[in-house]
Structure 1
Amino acid sequence: MRRTHDARIALLDEDQQTRDMLREYLEGQGMHVVPVANGTELRQLVSQEPIDAVILDVMARGEDSLGLLREMAEQPGTPPVMLLSAVASDIDRIVGLELGADDYLAKPFNPRELLARLRVVLRRGNAATARAAATPVLTFAGWVLDPTFYVVRDAAGRDVDLTSGEFKLLHALAVHAGQVVSREALLRLVHGDEAEAFDRAIDVAVSRLRAKLVRHGGGALIRTVRGEGYLFAARI
């Protein structure tokens, strides 16, 4: 269970001033901040110690931060990730969310806003964990989707390599099989009630998810209903 009052937060940010400010502020709110110098240290920390959330600077010098984000998102049990970036374009935000980020905050930012968003991410993670534990394994067209272990297998029994965001999207559609789900509803199901409406992010996410499903013979699983949203076509 991810805590909100005494959470352990891993922090990778290339700017010393930002690191010091965040550490002082968040620890003043009862959290414990663990700064790391690079992606290697972050991977090691997350794999060996209990970490409740990660704050990751997209522009960290010498790091492929988005590649690191994707790598982490593909690992079961990875803590939620909040991205920080000096670039606030729509496309950067879309890519970050699609690769598995749980939130995206542009620099400069008010530390009080970051704290509020971080608490939401932690609460959302707790709620998602509870829902997954209470949700049965789903089977459809010979496929298996296990929400507890974030595992998807195709009809041939092969694992389907999805990011955490793609898994959440597929699960959200599958549990509403036979129903048209709007883009706004999908955004809330994947990113929580506090998510801002951003249709293009969902379109990009569905497109990438479909491409992976096609490679496993599942191209017909998700249908687009023009002007309405998306429909999971297989029977559960």
Structure 2
Amino acid sequence: MNDSGERKHVVVLDDDAELRTLICEYLEAHELRVSAVGSGAELRLLLGTDRPDAIILDVMMPVEDGLSVLKDIAGKADRPAILMLSAMASDVDRILGLELGADDYIAKPVNPRELLARVRAVLRRRTAGRGPEEEEVQAIRFDGWVALPASYGLVSPDGTTVELTTNEYRLLLALLRRPGRVVSRDTLMFDVHGADAEFYDRAVDVGISRLRAKLAEHDASELIRTVRGEGYLLVRRS
């Protein structure tokens, strides 16, 4: 990512050229370096040669929708912050976007000042400390598993690398930092999305469900227990 002394680089992906231009001009006027692309293919070409700090990603696009693009890039190590921008603003849509790895989900039409504030909030979490997991650099061993916070890596007891989305990994780290303790949904939401996130109980539940499913592929479905009405607990035996 760019050094803190440089202007942060934001990529705007939207198939609406007029809206794309308006967003870019507003962000540029507020000390951000902005690139504009009109499709997922153009974004991938850019990511092949540049490493932006954040991507504003439109959901509704004709050839390849934003969620497909999100799935492709969200789980990659050291990926940019991702803000979804969509006219689809129901709780279900927000939860899906967040659990696929987005850092924020913003409804259209959006006030440019609000968009700028949300971009800055996401970048602030990235550069000034997103949460305790970014301070951990040592491997965390639990029940035969190895988590590598510095690289967002997870290795199963049989040596298999397990692919998690960024949000799934943050959920796991939030539980690993509190082994044997019940962790509430609001604490998990804060650890995953930061203080600026809007809270959705179901976003945490869906994320835990997907994390469990991936652990279950390696016979570890019982590592995370639900404590009804309280939250979740990691059963750490080693």
What is the CA deviation profile of residues 115-141 of structure 1, one whole-angstrom value per residue up to 9, with x for unaligned ones?
001001001112138852543210001
Q: Which residue of 2 aligns with 1:15?
A: 16
What is the CA deviation profile of residues 151-191 of structure 1, one whole-angstrom value per residue up to 9, with x for unaligned ones?
00111010111111111111111111111000011000100
Q: Using the alignment, how far apart are the partners of 1:218 and 1:4 within structure 2?
A: 44
| 1:47 shift after superposition | 3.2
- Over the matched positions of the two proteins, sequence identity in percent amounts to 48
Q: Which residue of 2 aligns with 1:226?
A: 228
| 1:46 shift after superposition | 2.0
**SS of equivalent residue, structure 1 residue 128:** coil
Q: Which residue of 1 aligns with 2:170?
A: 168
Q: Using the alignment, how far apart are the partners of 2:140 and 2:152 within structure 1?
A: 12
1:107 equivalent to 2:71? Answer no
Note the residue ranges of structure 1 that are not aligned, 5 or more in a row: none
Counterpart contact for 2:131–2:194, Cα < 8 Å: no
Q: How does 1:185-224 map to 2 (within 5 A)?
A: 185-224=187-226
Counterpart contact for 2:133–2:170, Cα < 8 Å: no
Q: Using the alignment, how far apart are the partners of 2:194 and 2:115 within structure 1?
A: 16
Moved more, 46-55 or 114-123: 46-55
Q: Using the alignment, how far apart are the partners of 2:171 and 2:114 within structure 1?
A: 26
Q: Using the alignment, how far apart are the partners of 1:201 and 1:149 within structure 2?
A: 24
User: What amino acid is the match of 1:185?
Assistant: T
Q: How does 1:138-149 map to 2 (within 5 A)?
A: 138-149=140-151
Q: Which residue of 2 aligns with 1:71?
A: 72
Q: How does 1:13-52 map to 2 (within 5 A)?
A: 13-52=14-53
User: What amino acid is the match of 1:166?
Assistant: E
What is the CA deviation profile of residues 47-86 of structure 1, one whole-angstrom value per residue up to 9, with x for unaligned ones?
3212010000000221132121112111101001000001
TM-score normalised by the chain length of structure 1:
0.95
Q: Using the alignment, how far apart are the partners of 2:158 and 2:29 within structure 1?
A: 52
Q: Using the alignment, how far apart are the partners of 1:208 and 1:81 within structure 2?
A: 20
Q: Using the alignment, how far apart are the partners of 1:106 and 1:77 within structure 2?
A: 26
CA 1:85–1:163 in structure 2 vs 1: closer, same or farther (change >3 Å)?
same
Moved more, 123-132 or 191-200: 123-132
Q: Using the alignment, how far apart are the partners of 1:221 and 1:47 within structure 2?
A: 37
Counterpart contact for 1:12–1:60, Cα < 8 Å: no
Counterpart contact for 1:12–1:36, Cα < 8 Å: yes
Q: How many residue pairs are counted as aligned between the two chains?
A: 236
User: How much is the aligned-residue C-alpha RMSD, in angstroms?
Assistant: 1.7
Q: How does 1:48-127 map to 2 (within 5 A)?
A: 48-126=49-127, 127=129
What is the CA deviation profile of residues 182-228 of structure 1, one whole-angstrom value per residue up to 9, with x for unaligned ones?
00110001000111221011111111111111011111110000000
Counterpart contact for 2:70–2:102, Cα < 8 Å: yes
Q: Using the alignment, how far apart are the partners of 1:64 and 1:85 within structure 2?
A: 11
| 1:13 shift after superposition | 0.5
| 1:37 shift after superposition | 2.1
User: What amino acid is the match of 1:207?
Assistant: S
**SS of equivalent residue, structure 2 residue 88:** coil
TM-score normalised by the chain length of structure 2:
0.94
**SS of equivalent residue, structure 2 residue 130:** helix
